Amino acid sequence: MRAGHWDKSTHKSVELGGRTIGLVGLVGIGVRFARMVDAMDMRVIGFNTARGGLVDEDALLAALRSGQAAAAGLDSFAVEPLPAEHPFRAEPRIVLSPHIGGVTADAYVAMGVGAAKNVLASLAARAR
């Protein structure tokens, strides 16, 4: 709009309400995201797994290219960093993130606190 562009006729959005989203990984971030999209009246299909190596990359590409899946957002991959020649890089319906979903100041504090609690629990168990 700052450049003077105002052409609503070419803008195509998608209503999320009533749509279905599939989440691979319903721990931490996945659970929070599921709650957010549930609030938008989306149907959530979840699978209790994580890490990019568990995603069948060829099947995901085939599903996107055939229209069976509309889009994908990925934050972890079988090989990291994602190689330059990887086909995900050329697929416009995949949003790629460099495994930073949990890279926040709060996440680092939570990881440190969790690690300290695990050490203390282990020491307490040994003292018994």
- Active-site residues: which are they? 51, 80, 99
Between CA 66 and CA 62, with CA 21 as vertex, the angle to 5 degrees is 20
Eight-state DSSP code of residue 82: P
Token pair belonging to 91: 């697929």
CA distances from 104 to 73, 83, 97, 109, 126 (A): 19, 25, 14, 9, 33
